[in-house]
Amino acid sequence: MAFAVNLEAMYAVPDMLDRLGADARRCYAYAGEWFDFEYGPGVIDKARGKHAQARAEVTGYFLAIAKRAEALARSVRISLAGYAEVDHSEAARLDSTLPAQTYHPAWRTPAITTDRLQVQALEQYEPAAHLTQVKDYLPEWPYEPEWSDLVSPGNIVRDLMMAANWLGVQVGISDRVIDPLDYVSNNLCGNWAGMRACGDALENLRRAAVDMSHNAVWIEVRVNASWQGNAADIAWLAIRKLGDALSEADCPLAAARDAYLSVCEEISALEQTVELILIDVADALFFFYAAGAAAYFTVVGGSIFTGVAIFQLLQIIKRMNDLYSLMEKSNLIIDTFNGDMDRLGGVLPDSAAPDLPNELVAA
C-alpha cells in the first residue's frame, strides 16, 4: 500500500489513544478498590484464594490494556513528528523499510479519504461514567422490626439493642445500625455484602470495557481514513487488536459477575437462617425458664409455657435441617465459584497488540 498521511487529521490519534489508556487505568484502580474487602471467617472464606486470583486477572488485564494504548500513542506521536520534519518522498522511503503487514484487503480503504465523518472521527462513549459508587449492601436498618416480634422475647431484645444503636448513629457515636446477631452469623457465613459489591463492580467494569471497545473502533476509523503505508498498517492493526481484546472481555467479565452474585444469594440465605435459629433458641430458653417459674405458682401456667417452649424446639429442629441443606448448597456454590475463577484466566483475552517498535518510522 502506497504511503500517504493526513497529518492534521492524525494529530488527534495519539490523544485518543492516551484517553483510552487513561480509561483503562481508571478501570484498573476501580477494580482494585472494589476487589479489596474483608472476607471475615465463615463459609465464604473458602473463596478467598480464587478471589485473589480473579483480582489479579482483572486488574492485570486493564493495566495491560492501558500500557498497550499508551505505548501505541507514543509510537504514533513519534511517527507524526518524524513526518513533519521530512518531505513526502523521504517519508515514503522510510516507510518502505518497515515490514508489510498481512490482513484481509476489505479491512482497509485503498487510499486516504476526505470524508469528514471518518477523518474527524472522535470517541463517542464515556467509559468512566460506569465506574460509579457501588451500593452498600449492609442496609441502614439490617432487620426491620415487625408486630410479630412482640411474641418473641429474642426479637424484642434484638429490636431494643438495634434501637439503642440507632440512637448512637443519630448523635454520631456509630456509623450504622448494627444487628447484634451479625456478630454470630457473620462468623459462620462471612462478608457476603462485600462479594455482592464486587459483583456489581464487575458489571460496571464490563460496561466500561464495552464502551472502550467502541471508542477503539472510532480511533481505528480515523487512522484508516488518514494514514496509509507499512507504519500505518502496524498501528492500525494494533488498534484493531486492542479493540478486539476489549470487546472479547464482555463475556468473561459477565461470567465472573454471575459467579460472585450466585455466591451472595446462597450466603445471604444462610445468614438469614442462622439468625432465625438464634432467635428460636433464645425464645425456647426464655419459655423453658418461664415454664419453671410459672409452675411454681400454677400447674396450668407452667404447662402453657412448656408447650410454647416445645413448639420452639420443634421450630429449631426444622430450621437446623434447613441450615444443613443451605450449608451443603453454600459449599457447593463456593466450589463452583472457585472453578469459574480458574477458568477466568483462560478466557480473559490477552491485552492484544504485538509489541510495537519505539518508532513506527525507521530512523
Predicted confidence (pLDDT) per residue in 49-81, tens digit:
788 888 998 999 999 999 999 999 999 999 999
Question: What is the structure's pLDDT at 204?
Answer: 98
pLDDT tens, position by position, 151-186: 465 556 555 556 666 566 666 666 666 665 566 566
Burial of 99: CB neighbours in 10 Å, binned 0-12, 13-18, 19+: exposed
For residue 131, being part of any structural domain is answered with no
Residues 6+ apart with CB under 8 A from 2: 92, 111, 228, 229
For residue 359, being part of any structural domain is answered with no
String of DSSP letters for 138-168 = S-SSSS---GGGGG-HHHHHHHHHHHHHHHH
Overall average pLDDT of the 325-346 stretch:
67
Name the residue with higher pLDDT: 100 or 138: 100
Average model confidence (pLDDT) across the chain: 76
pLDDT of residue 103 exceeding 60: yes
For residue 164, being part of any structural domain is answered with no
For residue 23, being part of any structural domain is answered with yes
Overall average pLDDT of the 91-115 stretch:
80
pLDDT of residue 208 exceeding 80: yes
Overall average pLDDT of the 98-114 stretch:
77
Residue 4 DSSP symbol = E
Name the residue with higher pLDDT: 133 or 43: 133
Q: Can you give the pTM of this predicted structure?
A: 0.76
pLDDT of residue 100 exceeding 50: yes
> Which residue range(s) make up the domain with 247?
4-101+189-347
Q: How many domains does the chain have?
A: 1
For residue 201, being part of any structural domain is answered with yes
Residue 116 — pLDDT band, cuts 50, 70, 90? confident
pLDDT tens, position by position, 226-253: 999 999 999 999 999 999 999 999 998 9
Residue 146 — pLDDT band, cuts 50, 70, 90? low
| 5, containing H or E segment | strand 4-5
For residue 136, being part of any structural domain is answered with no
For residue 97, being part of any structural domain is answered with yes
- For residue 132, the SS3 value is coil
Residue 101 DSSP symbol = P
